[in-house]
Amino acid sequence: MLIIFKFYLFHGLALFAISFAILFRKLQISRIAIAKVLPFLALFCLLRGFHEWFELYTVMYAQQAEPQRWLETIHTIELCASMLALTLFCWHMLPLTRWRLMRRLRQGVLALTAVFFIGAAYHYNALEYFAYLNQVTLHMQWIFGLVCGVLSGIAIIRYGATISRQGYSKALPFTLMGLAVVLYSLSIGGLNTAWGSSIIALRCGFAVVLAVATWSVLRVFDEEHSQLIEEALALSLQNQKLRELGELTSAIAHEIKTPLSSALMSCDILSHHLHLQADEQQRQTSERQLDRIRLGLSRAAEISQEVLNYAHQSNLKRDTVILSDVIRSALSLNQFRLSDFTVETDLDAELTIDGDAGLIEQVLTNIIGNAIDASTNTSDKLISIHSFQAKKNAVIQIADYAGGVSNAILDKMMTPFFTTKAVGEGTGMGLAICKKIVLQHGGEIVINNNPHGLTVEVQLPRKRS
């Protein structure tokens, strides 16, 4: 009896350890999709742990007296609650697998649950009470413990294969956890403790294995949490640098813009006085010189305004952004300029990020505009846009067929004031501003030559699916 007591004790402790290990982690900030589902597993383990200890009490009590109606009723209700929690875990795990038959499987789970409760209600008055409770217990073990439990374990294994492609972790911890769930479900759903103490020992062993496997999965969340802290710190430092740079350049730009405005006003006054001169030839010569001065001052004012725009530190209005919608919106803004172009798109409709849709649209509009400008004098007026998932990042590739640029130019393209356009047609601040916006989102811009032209790749942290 002492050995059985220890088996029940360690069984419950293992389940409680799983439950509290899951509940006391900050899974709500995780980008890993299964983080939203694990609390249902924690609920199952918590209720199952109480059930095991209560069963220990009933086993010890049975040695001294006949079974009591209230005791067996509570015991069955506890079992039912834990099995329903396992069913909820299975129900929420299935969509993460992306199986083609996922909907059918969920319908099957729902149908089995309905059949169980209908059958339980039907047989309530048809059987003697203790026989009725035994039958209900047996059916719960088969339907919820065996079917839903095994299905949950297989779903975890399947999810592990998908999460490894998303760049979060290798599949091994999730594979081990899935196998542990399958084994534990087989022990509680397919084996009966009435068959002997070896079944009790086996269940206890599988519970310990499940606890170890769950610990290995939770290590993945710990690593992700540390990485998120590092990313947030790096982003904070980057934003601080951008803010300090913005304050400095903004002050310089303001100092430059004030005398420029004054000089332009003086040009207007001088032009007015020149019209009062009688000598027509001298007046025309002076007007031409004034026009040159005015053009240079206007150009300087335009550059100072671009510097102010670059220095301006926009506050991100973070929200769920569907990238395919933002790309289409950016194309719509360039619709008139794209009338002579062929635009090829291959967009992932489910790709989302957590960011500012307006600023991302500004970045894409600028890049598309640059591709249009580069392709204006070429015969191949083609632009291709491709969005896809690359592990933790959402990637947007915009490629043109304008022949590309040299490596020397490629290295300078995002440098402020660098431009390959003719004098007066560009300030060279467009890509610099785009780079700053993408950095604020924790991403980066990569520019490379392709066999036909130039490819600009915008990489942004992907939102959790």
pLDDT 10s digits, 194-203: 777 788 889 9
Phi, psi of 238, deg, nearest 5:
-65, -45
Helices 69-97 & 38-62 angle (0-180, nearest 10):
160
How much is the CA Rg of the chain, to the nearest whole Å? 34
- Identify the residue with better confidence: 426 or 130: 130
Q: Point out which residues pair with 400 in neighbouring strands.
A: 383
pLDDT of 87 reads 93
Share of the chain above pLDDT 90, in %: 25
pLDDT score for 245: 60
CA distance readout (Å), 233 to 197, 227, 237, 238, 442: 54, 10, 6, 9, 11
pTM of the model: 0.65
Q: pLDDT at position 185, please?
A: 92
- pLDDT for 399: 92
Q: Which residue has the higher pLDDT, 27 or 315?
A: 27
Q: Which DSSP letter does residue 411 get?
A: T
Output the average pLDDT for the chain. 82
Strand boundaries in 367-450, DSSP class E: 382-390, 393-400, 444-449
Cα separation of 72 and 250, whole Å?
76
409-414: average pLDDT: 81
Query: Which of 366, 346, 364, 348 has the alpha carbon at shortest distance from 356?
Result: 364
Q: List, for residues 186-195, the tens digit of each pLDDT value.
A: 998 888 777 7
CA distances from 284 to 265, 276, 361, 438 (A): 19, 12, 47, 50
Lowest mean pLDDT among 5-14, 76-85, 103-112, 244-253: 244-253
Distance CA 212, CA 316 (A): 41
What string of DSSP letters covers 278-290?
S-HHHHHHHHHHH
Higher pLDDT, 265 or 23: 23
pLDDT attached to residue 91 = 93
CATH 3.30.565.10 domain position(s) in the chain: 316-465
CB contact at 8 A, 250 and 310: no
Least Cα distance to 340 among 315, 305, 377 occurs for 377
Per-position DSSP letters for 139-198, written without gaps between them: HHIIIIIIIIHHHHHHHHHHHHHHHHHTTS--SHHHHHHHHHHHHHHHHHHS--GGG-HH
Q: Which residues pair with 319 in a beta bridge?
A: 355
Most confident of 37-51, 157-171, 293-307: 37-51
What pLDDT shows up at residue 397?
94
- Asked if the model's pLDDT at residue 63 lies above 70, the reply is no
- The CATH architecture of the domain made up of 316-465 is 2-Layer Sandwich (3.30)
Task: Give the per-residue pLDDT at 206.
Answer: 93
- Is 461's pLDDT higher than 70? yes
pLDDT of residue 258: 65
Q: Is 332 helix (H, G, I), strand (E, B) or coil?
A: helix
Residue 51 burial (CB count, 10 A): 24
How confident is residue 346, by pLDDT bands cut at 50, 70 and 90?
Answer: very high
pLDDT score recorded for residue 156: 92
The one-character DSSP state at 341 is -
CATH class of 2-232: mainly alpha
CA atoms within 13 A of residue 4's CA, in its CB half-sphere: 15
CA–CA distance, 208 with 49 (Å, rounded to integer): 12
Condensed to tens digits (0 to 9), the pLDDT of residues 381-396 reads 899 999 998 878 899 9
Per-residue pLDDT, averaged over 399-411, amounts to 84
Please report the pLDDT score of residue 62 as a whole number.
56
Residue 396 confidence (pLDDT):
94
Which one is predicted more confidently, 17 or 75? 17
If one compares 95 and 168, the residue with the highest pLDDT of the two is 95
More confident residue, 25 or 18: 18
The count of other CB atoms within 10 Å of the CB of residue 162 is 17
- For residue 139, name the pLDDT band (cuts at 50, 70, 90): confident
Say how far residue 407 (Cα) sits from the centre of its chain. Answer: 34
CATH 1.20.1070 placement within the chain: 2-232
- Average confidence (pLDDT) over 327-348: 89
Q: Confidence class of residue 177 from pLDDT cuts 50, 70 and 90? A: very high
Q: CA 227, CA 39: separation in Å to the nearest integer?
A: 22
